[in-house]
Amino acid sequence: GAVVSQHPSRVICKSGTSVKIECRSLDFQATTMFWYRQFPKQSLMLMATSNEGSKATYEQGVEKDKFLINHASLTLSTLTVTSAHPEDSSFYICSARGASDTEAFFGQGTRLTVV
Amino acid sequence: GQNIDQPTEMTATEGAIVQINCTYQTSGFNGLFWYQQHAGEAPTFLSYNVLDGLEEKGRFSSFLSRSKGYSYLLLKELQMKDSASYLCASMDSNYQLIWGAGTKLIIKP
């Protein structure tokens, strides 16, 4: 399958700071990127969907000014958690899909801990 | 509406067979995915069904009945490493995935 690389895998940051998470498709052009959040023992919660060159579409309840998503190229999308707080601590996962693909491929995930 | 149901937890014995069921209600249904997720890791793709019937891939098989809104994942010859959560997800006509809460599978020796 196609490879999606997500970085960093773990990050610890202080409350009030911002954290950027990168998601790269290594061997295909990702026309659509999905960003998920997963709290312990819960399923994936879709935060937003982004198409290359367009503004992201956020799910209800997700603050677009707090979770900034940029999908400026066909191989890179970033999620920036701004002014992070302890309640933002979670497992963030991206997935990417090409124009002709049905399956979306997942990155490795990022464990964010805000202290 | 959009809804996915699967059992919260199942227990099985090493070497045995287990079937994990999933029922869905999805507008513009466009296929059903099964993913495996080990604790602390991202999901990994197992199967995709869009037509009725059974698809077999080694020890894992997946079944779909579109008329019944039902799918199952069948795991044979269970191994300890199969202990994980199994996520059922349906795809709608906009290619969006609707995720189930996952079934935690516990394998006992």
Res B1: pLDDT: 62
Does residue A63 carry a pLDDT above 90?
yes
Whole-number percent of chain B with pLDDT over 90: 74
Query: Residues of A with CB below 8 A from B100's CB?
Result: 43
Given A32, A102, A109, which is nearest B42 (Cβ)? Answer: A109
Q: CB burial class (10 A; 0-12, 13-18, 19+) of residue B21? A: middle
Instruction: Read off the pLDDT of each residue in B9-27 and give the average, rounded to a whole number.
Output: 96
Nearest chain A Cα distance for residue B40, angstroms: 8
* pLDDT over 80 (residue B95): no
Cα–Cα distance measured from residue B25 to residue A43, given in angstroms and rounded to the nearest whole number: 17
Residue A1: pLDDT band with limits 50, 70, 90: low
Mean pLDDT (chain B, rounded): 93
A49 touches chain B (CB under 8 A): yes
Going by pLDDT thresholds of 50, 70 and 90, the confidence category of residue B93 is confident
* 3-class secondary-structure state, position A28: coil
Q: How far apart are the first and last CA of chain B?
A: 41
Specify the range with the lowest mean pLDDT, choosing from A26-30, A89-93, B3-7: A26-30
d(CA A50, CA B96): 12
Distance CA B88, CA B3 (A): 11
Q: How far is CA A8 from CA A15, A93, B36, B94, in A?
A: 18, 11, 22, 30
Return the ∠ at Cα B93 (arms to B91 and B96), rounded to 5°. Answer: 45
pLDDT reported for residue B41: 84
Comparing B99 with B14, the larger pLDDT belongs to B14
pLDDT for B51 equals 94
Mean pLDDT for A57-85 is 93
For residue A38, is pLDDT > 90? no
Which region among A14-28, B69-83, B90-104 has the lowest average model confidence (pLDDT)? Answer: B90-104
Cross-chain residue pair A43–B99, CB shorter than 8 Å: yes
In chain B, DSSP finds a helix count (H) and a strand count (E) of 0, 11
Tokens of B3: 């809804």
A32, A42, A43, A101: best to mutate for the B interface, most B CBs within 10 A? A43
Three-class SS state of B25: strand
Provide mean pLDDT across the span B26-54: 90
Q: Return the pLDDT at B13.
A: 97
For residue range B66-91, what is the model confidence (pLDDT) as tens digits? Answer: 999 999 999 999 999 999 999 999 98
* pLDDT recorded at residue B31: 92
Query: B88 pairs with which residues across the strands?
Result: B34
